[in-house]
Amino acid sequence: MSKDEIFKENMPVIADFNFGEKVASVFDDMLDRSVPFYREIQRMIGEMAVDFAVEGTNIYDLGCSTGTTLINLSQNIPGKVKFIGIDYSQDMLARCKQKLDAHHFSREHELICADLNQGVNIENASVVVMVLTLQFIRPLRRDTLIGSILRGLNENGCLILVEKVLGEDSVFNRLFINYYYDFKKRNGYSELEIAQKREALENVLIPYKLLENRELLLKEGFRYCDVFFKWYNFCGVVAVK
């Protein structure tokens, strides 16, 4: 696994964060060191998906990046299902294909290059997963995207959503961000790396509050919605059609 050192050197100009080859090449290390309890979240996703996956249906990973979640789901879900990974980055999809090949991924699957901002075609789905993806969708497009997912889910199908979130109050928001930066420092990121990445993400990653995400899911028509994971400014939500 290549080490994430993208923001290690001082940059005179910080460009907007993007998911090109530079990020794709170190993305697995970036997730391990930047997302609290990432491996436990993956374990929980696999555990929950088993209870909603139905034989003969499709399992979607929207924003599949390098394929970690697809591999995790395939190792947990028995029976005949089709795995579909969607990402807008060709570089991420190339890494995903390499990783699936390296893991001898033999389950029926398809990788699709598509921009979720333009909507998504979901069909015959029992499980849809979005791990740290919705936060990168333009806010004005999120309602449409969630609506498309709901329409493509079968009855009693689920959406598993993991997001970075804002605190419900500015006091908590400041504290949670400080705790998060302390977490990143413990994982070897410098003050400079943290500051430069924060600037690169400023116009790209736009988080909602947890309750705003919940309201969005219920407004679009999901019957049930609950939190399965929360760590300061990160949360996991599962919603059922």
- pLDDT tens column, 80-124: 999 999 999 999 999 999 999 999 999 999 999 999 999 899 999
Q: Cα separations (Å) of 209 from 131, 147, 148, 180, 181?
A: 16, 19, 22, 16, 19
> Residues 4-50: pLDDT tens digits?
999 999 988 899 999 999 999 999 999 999 999 999 999 999 999 99
> Residues 16-29: pLDDT tens digits?
999 999 999 999 99
pLDDT given at position 82? 98
CB atoms within 10 A of CB 240: 16
Average pLDDT for 135-163? 97
CATH fold for domain 21-240: Rossmann fold (3.40.50)
Residue 61 near residue 132, CB atoms below 8 Å: no
Residue 21 near residue 91, CB atoms below 8 Å: yes
